[in-house]
């Protein structure tokens, strides 16, 4: 199986035994506490679950700037996005002190991790602007990821972490949430060696379904990993539980048995386009996947990125930066001429009118009115799951 990123084995930061966890929670009673923001909590889940191997914890100022400018950790290893614990609060922590980090997304002041503070550093407004510009390609606060980063504050708390739990993800998505360790173990137990990963934050329509099928066939994959984001999205995106149900319905009806693994991960969407596509590749490599499907405007939002920027950025990486390969996909849609789903680049004799294409707005409008989606666009069983959601709103 493909090696994890920058390591011979996964390096999850989750505390392994109940005894160790209980001891840390007992120690935490005497520690200063800090309620982290949702982005930092999501980073902790990814650190705990092995997805962010080989990171030990939250980055310091020098490393954040290096990652933003050059996509390199202090060690020189490739890394595409900052992993930070930022705050806008005044702190009285000292360097070397252990602090208890409180989960903002779970009631009852649940401690999600213990952090050993390395440094507390201020970022200047110019430094924050530079980080945002490099990572997101824009400083426009109408971009949801940009707004989230600016809102986190200017005080950076770096240091190693010991993660105590996976926030709300195991409880709310018990059937779907999986750590990188669990996914690797499942791939190994199935005897798969060549796995294609598909990233999604949306329900899968027929175009997505066929894209997975095409990618699997073209790279001769043993199986497909459907890996859905379970964390915070922007307003208007379909909730994770509805998306999960829709995807499971599609796989059950339209894919061979034991060819697809349906899993999810606990992270908040960055909407960082090309940089987030690189991050997706890093943690899919850590999951044991050989390929990641990178489609049109992967991880993008609005009109902030070009259609294929997220593919092109991989071509600019130094050799050996990543072991995982990408499957470059064009927009897929149902062809009225050929009566099947195709990649648009493969049919140069088609015009726009030859495809069945619906905007997200149109889809939501139809479902809200109880209207069936065209069978060329969505499987009827999937459309029914989505319609029930929209009719309740």
Q: Are residues 184 and 305 in the same domain?
A: yes
Q: Domain check: are 40 and 72 in the same one?
A: yes
Q: What is the pLDDT of residues 229-266, one digit of tens each?
A: 998 777 777 888 888 999 999 999 999 999 999 999 99
Residue 240, pLDDT score: 85
d(CA 24, CA 161): 12
Is the distance from CB of 184 to CB of 197 less than 8 angstroms? no
Of 130, 160, 194, 202, the active-site residue reads 202
In 65-94, which positions are buried (b, 16+ CB within 10 angstroms) versus exposed (e)?
Answer: bbbbeebbbeeeebbbbbbbbbbeeeeebe
Written as six digits, the tokens of 73 are 């950790």
> Would residue 178 count as lying in a domain?
yes
Provide the b/e sequence for 365-390 (b: ≥16 CB within 10 Å).
ebbeeeeebeebbbbeebbebbbebb
Chain mean pLDDT for the chain? 94
Structural domain range at position 322: 174-331
Which of 289, 309, 331 marks a domain boundary?
A: 331
Kindly state whether residues 195 and 115 are assigned to the same domain: no
Active-site pick, 130, 194, 201, 213: 201
Query: What pLDDT was estimated at residue 9?
Result: 97
- CATH number, domain with residue 50: 3.10.400.10
**pLDDT interval class at 362 (50, 70, 90):** confident
Q: Which residues are within 8 A (CB) of 163 and not within 5 positions of it... i.e. 6 or more apart?
A: 12, 13, 14, 15, 44, 45, 47, 48, 112, 113
Here the CATH number for the domain that contains residue 318 is: 3.40.50.620
Q: Say how many C-beta atoms besides its own lie within 10 A of residue 239's C-beta.
A: 11
| Residue 163 and residue 236 in one domain | no
Q: Is residue 364 part of a domain?
A: no
Is residue 227 one of the residues assigned to a domain?
A: yes
Range 29-34 contact pairs with CB under 8 angstroms and sequence separation of 24 or more: 31/98, 31/99, 31/100, 31/114, 32/92, 32/93, 32/97, 32/99, 32/100, 33/99, 33/100, 33/101, 33/102, 33/109, 33/111, 34/87, 34/89, 34/91, 34/93, 34/99, 34/100, 34/101, 34/102, 34/157
Tell me how far apart the terminal alpha carbons of the chain are, to the nearest angstrom. Answer: 44
Provide the residue count of the chain: 393
Helix, strand, coil content of the chain in percent (nearest 5): 35, 20, 45
Q: Given a cut of 80, is residue 54 above it in pLDDT?
A: yes
Asked whether the predicted pLDDT for residue 48 surpasses 70, the reply is yes
Least confident piece of the model among 65-69, 200-204, 222-226, 315-319:
200-204
Say which residues have a Cβ less than 8 Å from residue 21's Cβ, sequence separation at least 6: 15, 164
Please check whether residues 325 and 186 belong to one and the same domain: yes
Which residue, 122, 127, 118, is CA-closest to 69? 127
- Is the separation of the CB atoms in 4 and 284 below 8 Å? no
Both 194 and 327 in one domain: the answer is yes
Tens digits of per-residue pLDDT, 184-236? 999 999 999 999 999 998 888 898 999 999 999 999 999 999 999 998 777 77
Is 201 marked active-site? yes
Is 380 a residue whose pLDDT tops 80? yes
Count of CB atoms situated within 10 Å of the CB of 107:
7
Helices first, then strands: H and E counts in the chain:
13, 15
pLDDT tens digits, 127-174: 999 999 999 999 999 999 999 999 999 999 999 999 999 999 999 999
The pLDDT of residue 237 is: 75
Crossing angle of helices 274-287 and 180-190, in 10° steps, is 50
Indicate the pTM of the whole model. 0.94
On whether residue 375 sits in a domain, the answer given is no
Two tokens at 297?
């405007």
Question: Of 170, 198, 218, which residue sits at a domain end?
Answer: 170
Assess contact for 248 and 27: CB atoms under 8 A.
no
Position of tokens 């666009």?
377
156 and 181 in a single domain? The answer is no
pLDDT digits (tens, 9 = 90+) for 323-360: 999 999 988 888 999 999 898 888 999 998 999 888 77
Position 393 scores a pLDDT of: 63
Same-domain check for residues 125 and 235 = no
Strands (E), 84-206: 86-87, 98-102, 111-116, 119-122, 155-163, 195-200
105 is annotated as an active-site residue: no
When pLDDT is averaged across residues 15-32 and rounded to a whole number, the result is 96
How far from the centroid of its chain's Cα atoms is residue 291's Cα?
15
Residues 138 and 178 in one domain: no
Percent of the chain residues topping a pLDDT of 90? 81
Task: Find the mean pLDDT for residues 105-120.
Answer: 96
Contact 100, 111 (CB under 8 A): yes
Q: Which parts of 8-118 are beta strand (E)?
A: 32-35, 57-58, 86-87, 98-102, 111-116
DSSP element (H, E) containing 342: strand 340-343
- The domain tally of the chain equals 2
């Amino acid at each position: 199986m493909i090696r994890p990123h920058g390591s011979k084995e996964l390096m999850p930061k989750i505390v392994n035994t109940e005894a160790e966890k209980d001891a840390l929670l007992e120690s935490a009673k005497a520690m200063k506490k800090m309620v982290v923001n949702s982005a930092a909590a999501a980073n902790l889940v990814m650190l705990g679950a092995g997805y962010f191997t080989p990171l030990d914890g939250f980055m310091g100022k020098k490393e954040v700037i290096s990652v933003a400018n050059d996509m390199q950790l202090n060690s020189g290893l490739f890394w595409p996005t900052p992993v930070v614990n930022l705050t806008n609060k005044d702190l009285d922590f000292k360097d070397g002190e252990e602090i208890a980090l409180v989960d903002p997304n779970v009631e009852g002041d649940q401690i999600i991790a213990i952090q050993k503070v390395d440094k507390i550093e201020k970022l200047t407004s110019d430094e924050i602007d530079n980080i945002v510009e490099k990572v997101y390609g824009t400083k426009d606060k109408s971009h949801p990821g940009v707004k989230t980063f600016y809102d986190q504050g200017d005080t950076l708390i770096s240091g190693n972490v010991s993660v105590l739990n996976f926030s709300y993800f195991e409880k709310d998505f018990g059937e779907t949430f999986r750590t990188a360790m669990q996914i690797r173990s499942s791939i190994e137990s199935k005897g798969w060696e060549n796995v294609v990963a598909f990233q999604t934050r949306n329900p899968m329509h027929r175009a997505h379904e066929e894209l997975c099928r095409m990618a699997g066939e073209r790279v001769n994959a043993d199986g497909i990993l459907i890996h859905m984001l379970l964390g915070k999205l922007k307003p208007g995106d379909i909730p994770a539980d509805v998306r999960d149900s829709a995807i499971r319905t599609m796989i059950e009806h339209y894919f061979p048995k034991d060819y697809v693994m349906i899993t999810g991960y606990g992270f908040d969407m960055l909407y960082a386009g090309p940089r987030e596509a690189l991050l997706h590749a890093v943690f899919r490599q850590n999951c044991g996947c050989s390929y990641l499907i990178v489609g049109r405007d992967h991880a993008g939002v609005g009109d902030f990125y070009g259609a294929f920027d997220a593919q092109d950025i991989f071509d600019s990486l130094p050799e050996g930066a990543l072991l995982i390969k990408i499957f470059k996909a064009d927009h897929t849609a149902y062809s009225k001429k050929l009566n099947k789903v195709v990649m648009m680049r493969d049919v140069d004799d088609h015009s726009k009118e030859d495809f069945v294409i619906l905007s997200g707005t149109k889809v939501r409008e139809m479902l809200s009115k109880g209207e069936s989606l065209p069978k060329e666009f969505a499987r009827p069983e999937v459309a029914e799951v989505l319609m029930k959601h929209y009719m309740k709103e």
